[in-house]
Homo-oligomer: A and B are copies of this chain.
Amino acid sequence: MADLAELGEAELIAQLSFFAPANQFNDDAALLGLDQKLQRVISTDALVEGVHFSNATTPGFSVGWRAAAANLSDLAAMGCLEVEGITVALAAPGHTSMPWIKEVYQGLSALLKNHGGLLLGGDCSQAPVVMLAITAIGKVAGDRLIRRGDGKAGDHLVISGPHGLSALGLKLLQDPNDPSLLQLDESIRHKAIKAHQLPEPRFDAVAALHRSKPADMPWRVAGTDSSDGLRRSLELIGNACGHQPILAEPFELVEGCCLNSGLDGGEDFQLVLALESPWAKKFVEQLPGAQWIGWLGENPGPPCWANTKKPLLPGNSFEHFNRT
């Protein structure tokens, strides 16, 4: 009989989607329709000690911040401009120190405060390892949504910022004396560690999307966030739209990041969007750090490079379930 390690996360989610309404699991978060004008968006994410963080690389403040940021990023990926609040299910061993727990809550409060959200409630349980399961809730106008499947052939692909920084930051924290990293500029080191420990949900990129929309164009935005890596985001958009994401090569990677960590490192929490070309152009002009990376092709297909048409090869893609 199949176990989770054999199935993998994507197949697990596909099988669990049969318990939900059709297409319910197709986006970054779920919609609770109020009316056409206002929708509530709800998203859940868990962080597990030893899987998503370790005490060696993540202080308590950062554990709380990142747990909240991962959820808020899902709200941004649906088109929310801010968060209303979060609930937190905390599970921890009895020997966990209260000062550490307070640091965790200081981290998530600091992030929430930056984006106008409240700690609404939660639950505390004993468990053999620390787990933080957070549910975030936000509002979005029903006609200003970002959906993975709303892209069309010829749409331009843009990203709200660099990929690979978070993975580089983790590497620097795990092995600061790695010879391959010694050449790195101090400012890149600092940025990379910050990207890993204190990632920002890109509500500002959603605001830039609103600002840059050409007045004569209807709202139509395909997109997701890059929590599981840029390659995975492109796959999700490509599959949902039925159009192959085609990447112009080479697009700029952060200094010190290898191509694999740029494509598969994950946890950069950037927005990956498909827009009509005039809108894409204005978006990149208006948002510092945003980049044009390619377009959606005519036909379905996996993300590929424009010149060779070869699919982007999976590198160290983050897989949630394994037996080690």
The reply to whether B25 and A121 contact each other, CB–CB distance below 8 Å, is: yes
Q: Interface size bucket, A side?
A: 35 or more
CB neighbours of A46 from chain B (8 A): 89, 91, 123, 125, 131, 133
Give bound CA distance, A125 to B12, whole Å: 11
Judged by a CB distance under 8 angstroms, whether A84 is at the interface is yes
Question: Which residue in chain B gives the minimum CB-CB distance to A102?
Answer: B15
State whether A131 and B127 are in contact (beta carbons under 8 Å apart), knowing that A1-B97, A42-B137 are contacts in the complex: yes
The reply to whether B120 and A19 contact each other, CB–CB distance below 8 Å, is: no
State whether A13 and B131 are in contact (beta carbons under 8 Å apart), knowing that A19-B109, A97-B1 are contacts in the complex: no
Q: Which of A30-63 contact B (CB under 8 A)?
A: 30, 32, 34, 40, 42-48, 50-52
Copies in the complex: 2
The reply to whether B48 and A126 contact each other, CB–CB distance below 8 Å, is: yes
Stretch at the interface among A2-10, A206-214, A270-278: A2-10
State whether A98 and B129 are in contact (beta carbons under 8 Å apart), knowing that A44-B123, A137-B32, A320-B124 are contacts in the complex: no
CB neighbours of A3 from chain B (8 A): 94-98
Question: Which residue in chain B gives the minimum CB-CB distance to A94?
Answer: B5
Select A321's contact among B4, B106, B126, beta carbons within 8 Å: B126
Smallest CB separation, A10 vs chain B (Å): 10
Residues of A within 8 A of B (CB): 1-5, 7, 9, 12-13, 15-16, 19-21, 24-25, 29-30, 32, 34, 40, 42-48, 50-52, 84-85, 87-99, 101-102, 105-106, 108-109, 118-129, 131, 133, 135, 137, 320-323
Q: Using A7-B98, A45-B123 as known contacts, list a sample of 12 further A-B pairs with CB atoms less than 8 Å apart, ordered by residue number in A.
A: A2-B98, A3-B96, A3-B98, A4-B95, A4-B101, A15-B98, A16-B90, A20-B119, A24-B120, A32-B137, A94-B322, A129-B129
